[in-house]
Amino acid sequence: MPPPYSHIKVPQRCCDLPRDPFFSRRLDSPHQRKIHWGFGFLTTWWVVREEDFRSRIGEDGHYFDLIDFSAIEGFNVPPTMTILRFKEKLTEKFGTPLQCQRLWWWARRQNNTYRVDRPLTTEEENLPVLNTNSLPTWSNMDDALVFLKHYDPGKAQLRYVGLLSVKVASRPSEILPKLRSLAGFCLSETIELYEEIKFEPSVWCEAIDIHNTFSAGEIITGDIICFQKILKPPDIPKYPSVASFLQHVCDQKTYEEVRKVHILEEEIVTLKHQADTYLVQKEKAVTAYDQLKHERDNAVQQVNELRDQSTHIILDFSRKDMEQATEHFKNAREIGDTEYGHTYKGMIHNMKVLIKLSSSQKLFQQEVSALVYEWLPNGNLEDRIICTNNSAPLSWYNRTQIIGEICCALLFLHSNKSTALVHGDLRPCNILIDANYRSKICNFGMSNLFLQLGTFPPNLTARLPYMDPEFNTTEELTTLSDVYSLGVIILRLLTGMPPLTLSEKVAEALGSDSLHLLIDKSAGDWPYIEAKQLALIGLSCTGMTRKKRPDLLNEVWIVIEPLTRKPPAATWPYLQSASGDSSVPAAFICPISMEIMKDPQVASDGFTYEAEAIRSPMTNLALPNLNLVPNRVLRSFIHGYLQQQQPNPAYQQQLSET
């Protein structure tokens, strides 16, 4: 319903139906829309042509009154402009000549409807817009301008057919021939007339006595007369009269409004439930993070204590040891040559190791204590993605686990109490894979040597797709720089494609609903919902600016962590346990007892054993103490695996023990 403003209408003289008449509405104070313009304001008038009545009545369920002014174009008019000048503007807009235009005021009635009230005289058209607020009451009470609607009961259709000037002293029966002509009725067709009065809060459509005068029936200018032919049994449709049809429309409108309210209420309940679920997940993630952080702090404290107590835990090797291990750095022992230096495979104290010989004295001084690494037989993640030496591709489950491990490692680094630690060069080639397809990040902190101001980083082509775009302008690495690199790695593991412009390709695939075409088929049947979640979070991490990248704990980890919980039925390397079972994942077997671990613990040598095993066979050195860190992630996987083996009574017993 339009707001309570007065209106004006612009057709030709009411006694002669125009070819292209207009109607318009002017906003009056206190709700007047004003726009600063020169020394005054602009007043908004709405203009509607009679053809709009014909096209809009019956459209989108609109049957009441004549027009919905909210759907009509408005004109901003300076208060000093005359009405005559405004008519010229209408000529420019609609092409209707001045002689075919006449302005009419509209007014709001007590029943909250808007109807034509009075025309403007030729003299009044010379007044400025500002002076139209105090026009006198129209003195001509002999004529009335009424609007006509025809109702077809058979089609349940109500349409506008025209307007008509009548003498108030005449009778409605005198206009019946005109109505028959407008509706296409035959001359003998009997007609009944109704006055459309109001429709809110309920429909009021009153029958008109055609033998009384218009004046006696209180028909005045602006009233709407609906007419229809009189029906005879048995042809009585569902809505036989205008009143019944309008009541149906009103009920339908109320039903639709109630239905929309109901839908909105359901959406509110759903959103509230989603918000509550998110809060619960966030609380769980924060709790898990606090627990991991507490365990990390304890582990760091234990390592520091061990470093102070014994020099055997952090092993120092002499140059002679490393030369013997590599046969004096023989070329046959070399397995890699990168910007960080040459890498060799060797044996020290019966333990396979990887030895890195730095090509830079400065680099050597920075990382001299980490020069000898644990040997990881599956190489780096880059080799696994591109299947170097025809190696088997990583399964989708292993890829998901690796993503979770990288994310967890970054959380560990970024949560440093004093200053967050940034890797700065996170790439697949700096992520190593062990025999159980567990990942470990290496070359931490090396980027500080290559990304100094005024230097040109080596191997820039390989680094560039993983580098934070803002580094080019700020020359500063932050934790969100690692988040960017993580996003590229996620997308690479998901698609197996090269990193350059990968985020654009994934974004395009998501937009066209063709992500399934990009997913790496060699990873197996990747669950599409999980794959899409990884694509979305990976794409979010690769935002061009740091402000657009998600928080690693509250937005990234909360998505990735649930994906790493439940292992599939068969994705681990298997070996035979001491009990003879040949289907046990190798990671679940204690290296000492060769049995499935009940309480896996990380010892001070970095390996995981059953809690009761207190000697390390991997280094063949006695542990200095029994300070162990629970490996809860592995324990959760073992528990899930044993649940899958429930039909086996032996596993049932072991499950109850864990």
Rounded distance, CA 451 to CA 472, Å?
11
Pick from 107, 135, 82, 98: nearest CA to 8: 107
Question: Cβ(114)–Cβ(106) under 8 Å?
Answer: yes
Beta carbons within 10 angstroms of residue 256's beta carbon: 11
CA–CA dist 324, 500 (Å, integer): 42
Residue 540 structure tokens: 């979010």
60 is catalytic: no
Residues 145 and 165 sit within 8 Å (Cβ to Cβ)? yes
Whether the CB-CB separation of 405 and 561 falls below 8 Å is answered with no
Distance, C-alpha 81 to centroid of its chain: 49
DSSP string, 501-564: THHHHHHHHHHTT-GGGTS-GGG-S--HHHHHHHHHHHHHHT-SSGGGSPPIIIIIIHHHHHHT
Q: Is-contact 337 646, C-beta < 8 A?
A: no
Q: How far apart are alpha carbons 573 and 40 in whole angstroms?
A: 83
CA–CA distance, 494 with 518 (Å, rounded to integer):
8
Which residue in the list 65, 223, 425, 482 is annotated as catalytic? Answer: 425
CA distances from 156 to 151, 194, 198 (A): 7, 16, 19
CA distances from 179 to 144, 154, 174, 443 (A): 16, 18, 10, 92
Q: Could you give the residue numbers annotated as active site?
A: 425
